[in-house]
Amino acid sequence: MGKNAVYAQSGGVTSVINASAYGVVRSSFKSSSIDNIYVAINGINGIIGENLINMKNLPNKEIELLKYTPSSTFGSCRRKIKDDNDPIFTTIFEIFKKYNIGFFFYNGGNDSMDTANKISNYAKSINYDLKVIGIPKTVDNDLPYTDHTPGFGSSAKYLATSILEGSIDVKSMSKDSTKVFVLETMGRHAGWLAASTAMANINNKFGPHIILLPEVPFDKVKFFNKINDFINDDGYCSIAVSEGIKYPDNNFVSDLGYKDNFGNKQLGYAGKVISDMVHNELGLKVHTAIPDYLQRSGRHLSSLTDVEEAIKAGEKAVEFATNGISGYMVIFERVSNNPYKIDFKLEKLNKIANGTKYLPKEFISEDGLYVTEKFLEYCKPLIEGEFTPPYKNGIPDYLKLNIYQ
């Protein structure tokens, strides 16, 4: 008789996180080491509250739809486990013992890997045989030690397409109406998503003209001069703004005045702040777009590369765990750009936990207001291909499970 496994999703979602779930579930079904694969509802909360579903009870058709469904089908969470003395550990391991759990797969980002690391360490401290593997996920692409993360490629594709179409729109209206278009992207400390909008220019250069990155302190004078240059040359200016841009004094250009459960300042509306500056100080008509959740759950425009790698990350997590490995996260190591090839490797959870991977200097233009050719070469394979969801009545047919308690 083998052990059982539990999988859970945590943190901000992506359009391909359920593809990783699919990889875990299908591989667990095939594994001789895993009897049952449970999914916890709403992340670690589902374990604490014993809100688990046995995936063998789901119809095959619903499991197949996981590949196409965005966001978290099973619910996510932002719950932080404080330290080794947190009484929550007792509850978690009582549930693990009750369900004969020998494998724990946690699918998330920086803070989620901290939780996985603490559970792994606690298991060792009480001599409980538990194999813990983290599965990467974040549209922000800011997990250290991995070339990229599932979710980023699809969000990059969505944002590049969005700013391309928005730039064409403002160009058409610029003669005697709107002169500036601003698109705000996610990205608390790292500018990967904002940078990805530059992919809009790889076919025809409609925009963006300017990209504001968190790694570069916001210089209003330089920014305004650049806008005027593009309006003089092209008649309009298209701008991508990361939500995490900061002034030289390290204060955010815009935050909402409160923090999330992990103590992070809640960001938002940096694009609106920038738009107001441009309108009020340059006297230009500006249109602003804040895609917010749309950029991370736009599954209709997901990248084929991203979906396939998300599934593979889930499969590799099961492979590594059933081979006796624990306390690591699956990482991607790029072998080559052309042809594009990656290897799946491992890195210790304690090195991933709470870390941040910033956009490197060689990816940022000399004036700090755009990206380099090196970034375009890095990003291009990640947005390649399409994996279109099934449509019904003209709308994507996504999986909805009535499983919440």
Q: Specify whether 118 is located in the same domain as 35.
A: yes
Residue 166 lies in a domain: yes
The amino acid at residue 328 is: Y
Residue 7 has pLDDT above 50, yes or no: yes
| CA 136/CA 113 separation, integer angstroms | 8
Binding-site positions for substrate read: 138-140, 186-188, 243, 293-296
DSSP label of 67: T
Residue 80 has pLDDT above 70, yes or no: yes
Tell me the average pLDDT across 61-65. Answer: 96
Q: Specify whether 221 is located in the same domain as 124.
A: no
Domain boundary among 268, 298, 328: 298
Q: Specify whether 284 is located in the same domain as 316.
A: no
Pairing of strands 3-9, 34-40: parallel
pLDDT digits (tens, 9 = 90+) for 86-138: 789 999 999 999 999 999 999 999 999 999 999 999 999 999 999 999 999 99
| CA 212/CA 184 separation, integer angstroms | 10
| CA 261/CA 249 separation, integer angstroms | 25
Tell me the average pLDDT across 44-49. Answer: 96
Percent of the chain with pLDDT over 70: 96
Q: Which entry of 111, 114, 140, 306 is annotated as an active-site residue?
A: 140
Residue 404 has pLDDT above 70, yes or no: no
* Contact assessment for residue 388 and residue 300, using Cβ atoms and an 8 Å cutoff: yes
| CA 396/CA 379 separation, integer angstroms | 27
CATH code, 115: 3.40.50.450
Residue 405 has pLDDT above 50, yes or no: no
Q: Specify whether 273 is located in the same domain as 312.
A: no
Alpha helices in 283-397 (DSSP H): 293-297, 304-322, 349-352, 373-379
Domain of 304 in residue numbering reads as 3-138+146-150+300-354+385-396
The amino acid at residue 77 is: C
pLDDT digits (tens, 9 = 90+) for 229-266: 999 999 999 999 999 999 999 999 987 655 555 555 55
Residue 82: predicted pLDDT? 79
Tell me the average pLDDT across 360-367. Answer: 98
Residue 184 lies in a domain: yes
Tell me the average pLDDT across 163-176. Answer: 97
Residue 369 lies in a domain: no
Residue 100 lies in a domain: yes
* Contact assessment for residue 105 and residue 5, using Cβ atoms and an 8 Å cutoff: yes
User: Could you give the number of structural domains in the chain?
Assistant: 2
Q: Specify whether 205 is located in the same domain as 105.
A: no
Active site residue 147: no
Backbone angles phi, psi at 159, to 5 degrees: -70, -40
Pairing of strands 328-337, 340-348: antiparallel
Residue 85: predicted pLDDT? 73
Q: Specify whether 121 is located in the same domain as 214.
A: no
Residue with tokens 């928005």: 166
CATH code, 250: 3.40.50.460
Residue 13 has pLDDT above 70, yes or no: yes
Pairing of strands 328-337, 131-136: parallel
Domain boundary among 298, 326, 345: 298
Which region among 153-157, 257-261, 284-288 has the lowest average model confidence (pLDDT)?
257-261
Q: Specify whether 110 is located in the same domain as 214.
A: no
Residue 355 has pLDDT above 90, yes or no: no
Residue 375 lies in a domain: no
Q: Specify whether 277 is located in the same domain as 265.
A: yes
Which region among 10-14, 265-269, 373-377 has the lowest average model confidence (pLDDT)?
265-269
Q: Specify whether 238 is located in the same domain as 305.
A: no
DSSP string, 159-190: HHHHHHHHHHHHHHHTTTS--EEEEEE--SS-
What are 259's two structure tokens?
Answer: 């923090």
What are 199's two structure tokens?
Answer: 């992919």
Tell me the average pLDDT across 69-88. Answer: 88
Residue 361 lies in a domain: no
Residue 405 lies in a domain: no
Tell me the average pLDDT across 12-40. Answer: 98
Binding-site positions for Mg(2+) read: 110
Tell me the average pLDDT across 221-230. Answer: 98
Residue 403: predicted pLDDT? 67
Residue 127 lies in a domain: yes
Q: Specify whether 95 is located in the same domain as 119.
A: yes
Residue 364: predicted pLDDT? 98
pLDDT classification of 299: cutoffs 50, 70, 90: very high
Residue 323 has pLDDT above 60, yes or no: yes
Q: Specify whether 283 is located in the same domain as 253.
A: yes
Binding-site positions read: 12, 110, 138-140, 186-188, 243, 293-296
What is the pTM for the complete model shown? 0.95
Q: Specify whether 273 is located in the same domain as 346.
A: no
| CA 57/CA 53 separation, integer angstroms | 8
Q: Average pLDDT over the chain, rounded to whole? A: 94
Domain boundary among 280, 298, 316: 298
Which H helix or E strand runs over 347? Answer: strand 340-348
Residue 318 has pLDDT above 50, yes or no: yes
Backbone angles phi, psi at 332, to 5 degrees: -105, 130
Tell me the average pLDDT across 349-371. Answer: 96
Tell me the average pLDDT across 374-386. Answer: 98
